[in-house]
Amino acid sequence: MQATITRENDRRHKIAVIDGPNMSSLGNRSKQVYGSIASLDDLKAFCTRFGEDLGVEIECFSSNYQGAILEFIHESAARVDGYIINPAGATTIGEAIRHALQDAGRPVIEVHFANISAAPAMPRGLDSGTLKSSFTHSATGMCMGMRQYSYTGAILAMTQALDDTTFLGGEG
């Protein structure tokens, strides 16, 4: 069964997908939480294909270093329409990254494979327990707990929000 998405326009938005520290070990992490995605490269291909199906360009970036993520945000702000970020290992300590995203003036959706608010015993909860994200309070939205599908949910939501001229406070 193929789902068809009707878009409000045919503008080819450019969405940056950023993966933070520890996402490089994606294929080696808990299968219960992270599912069957074998590598970060597989996740990037998955996101890129989904974006192509929607008619949007996905630019993927990943780094285990916060400084590299900051530099990417600074240099990409003028060319992207929105950001999707999995802060991963920087979730609780990524204040500089959060500031850079806020300063970029673009919508931001925070994503996580796990449900970072769930108790450890829950199917998508983290073994270490709940996390309080530095990003949530300034993000436009959040998708979590759906493994790689958190990314497709975020890409779809970002695309539809960018298509809707009234969503981010425009006149319409």
Summarised one tens digit per residue, pLDDT across range 42-89 is 999 999 999 999 999 999 999 999 999 999 999 999 999 999 999 999
**Residue numbers of the domain that contains 151:** 21-163
Q: What is the pTM of this model?
A: 0.92
| Domain-located, residue 1 | no
Instruction: Flag whether 11 is in a domain.
Output: no
Give the CATH number of the domain where residue 121 resides.
3.40.50.9100
pLDDT in tens, 115-148: 887 766 666 656 666 778 899 999 999 999 999 9
Q: How far apart are CA 22 and CA 29, in angstroms?
A: 10
- Looking at per-residue pLDDT, the higher value among 126 and 105 belongs to 105
Residue 14 carries which side chain, given as an amino acid letter?
K
What is the structure's pLDDT at 167?
Answer: 87
In a domain, 122, yes or no: yes
Q: Does residue 33 fall inside a structural domain?
A: yes
Q: What is the rounded distance in angstroms from the CA atom of residue 130 to the CA atom of residue 49?
A: 31
Residues with catalytic roles:
34, 112
Is residue 171 in some structural domain? no
Q: In what order do the strands lie in the sheet with 14-19?
A: 57-62, 14-19, 82-86, 108-112, 141-144
Mean pLDDT of the residues in the chain: 90
pLDDT (tens digit per residue) in 17-49:
999 999 999 989 888 888 889 999 999 999 999
Residue 74 inside a domain? The answer is yes
Does 8 fall in a domain? no
Res 130: pLDDT: 72
Considering its fold, how many domains does the chain have in total?
1
